[in-house]
Amino acid sequence: MIRNRMRQLAGLLFALAILTGASGAGAQDAYPNRPITIVIGFSAGGTTDIITRLISDELRKGLGQPIIIDNKPGAGGNIGADIVAKARPDGHTLLMGSVGPLAINASLYKRMPYDNLKDLTPITLVAHVPNMLVVNPRTVPAQTFQEFVALAKANPGKYFYASTGSGTSSHLSGVLLNLQAGLDLTHVPYKGAVALNDVLSGESVQCMFATIPSAIQLVRGGKLRALAVTSLHRSGGVPEVPTVAESGFPGFDASSWFGLVGPAGLPREIALKVQGEVARILKDPAMREKFIQQGADPVGNTPDEFGQYMKDETAKWAKIVKASGAQAD
């Protein structure tokens, strides 16, 4: 009788183990099992918001759950990034981050609420978005980038460039140009894309290194003149605009970029599932055309490739921040 009971008990334990394993696997396979929130550390209408909304509907279809976009602006994107860094690592809270909170801010801010390389899990680099040097055609007579450099050299301190904030790539692009070209462009920081409004008026600032999506329609409408893009290669959105690198400053690269990350500890299977969906979306010719028309170059690389890219960008921008002397509270 004792042997029979022991056999029964062993059988029950074995069955329980199978059921437990099956339920655990089922829970993993079921991802996502509720709506996914994508946090954005900037206001609605900016480039990060535009990039996220371009893919959100197709991501909803692919993952089978609603996608909630949650704008949490502030501290150069740090507020939104910190929310995700401290979220439960189950894949239901993600961040569409940019070069600021995922690379630049690590050296720009004296105190960071999170470690961009330790507290976040890279998923995929969604897009490269070069900055584009745009000028007010009424106040800046230069027709080409070379003419602009010559004009600025001949008039040190006369020309002011706007940025979306101290330490952003739109600011540090100007710092890099000042360093490499020996210019004295004066930086005027703003809070977000509202900076373009003053460039349009031309009264207090005459130029800006703006992201292509935010300025492309103004250029096409003739309200601003595009002189150069800050990536190593020309942008598909404005192929007629030369790069700074090909215009006399080889190696000049100060692009913005946008990528999906999750909290540290995010299971690799979940990261790969999301990355796979994003890569599928970005391979679609119609979607690629939408990105390119906005001046964004779609990527969709692997989590490992994106992780290495974040490390390289963090190191690169740290040198530029140090050279600029820029600091944020």
Q: What angle do CA 176, 181, 185 make, to 5 degrees?
A: 70
Question: Residue 10: its pLDDT value, please?
Answer: 46
Question: For the residues 189-200, what does the mean pLDDT come to?
Answer: 86
Measure the CA–CA gap between 244 and 171, rounded to whole angstroms: 16
CA 280 to each of CA 61, 66, 162, 272: distance values in angstroms, whole numbers, following the listed order: 12, 18, 37, 12
CB-based contacts of 291: which residues, under 8 Å, 6+ apart?
54, 127, 282, 297, 298
Secondary structure (DSSP) of 84-147: HHTS-SSSSEEEEEEHIIIIIHHHHBSS-SS-TTTSEEEEEEEEEE-EEEEE-TTT----SHHH
* Predicted TM-score (pTM) of this structure: 0.82
- Is there a contact between 51 and 258 (Cβ–Cβ < 8 Å)? yes
pLDDT tier for residue 303 given thresholds of 50, 70 and 90: very high
Question: Residue 14: its pLDDT value, please?
Answer: 44
Is 269 a residue whose pLDDT tops 70?
yes
Pick the CATH number of 131-247 from 3.40.50.300, 1.10.3210.10, 3.40.190.10, 3.30.1360.120: 3.40.190.10
Question: Residue 268: its pLDDT value, please?
Answer: 98
The CATH number of the domain covering residues in 34-128+256-324: 3.40.190.150
CB-based contacts of 268: which residues, under 8 Å, 6+ apart?
303
Average pLDDT, the chain: 89
Q: What is the pLDDT of residues 8-67, one digit of tens each?
A: 544 444 444 444 444 344 444 589 999 999 999 988 888 899 999 999 999 999 999 999
Question: For the residues 87-103, what does the mean pLDDT come to?
Answer: 97
Domain ranges of the chain: 34-128+256-324, 131-247
Question: Residue 27: its pLDDT value, please?
Answer: 42
Q: How many helices (H) and strands (E) does the chain have?
A: 12, 11
* Same fold for the pair 34-128+256-324 and 131-247: yes
Measure the CA–CA gap between 47 and 186, rounded to whole angstroms: 24
Tell me whether strands 120-129 and 297-298 are parallel, antiparallel or unpaired: antiparallel
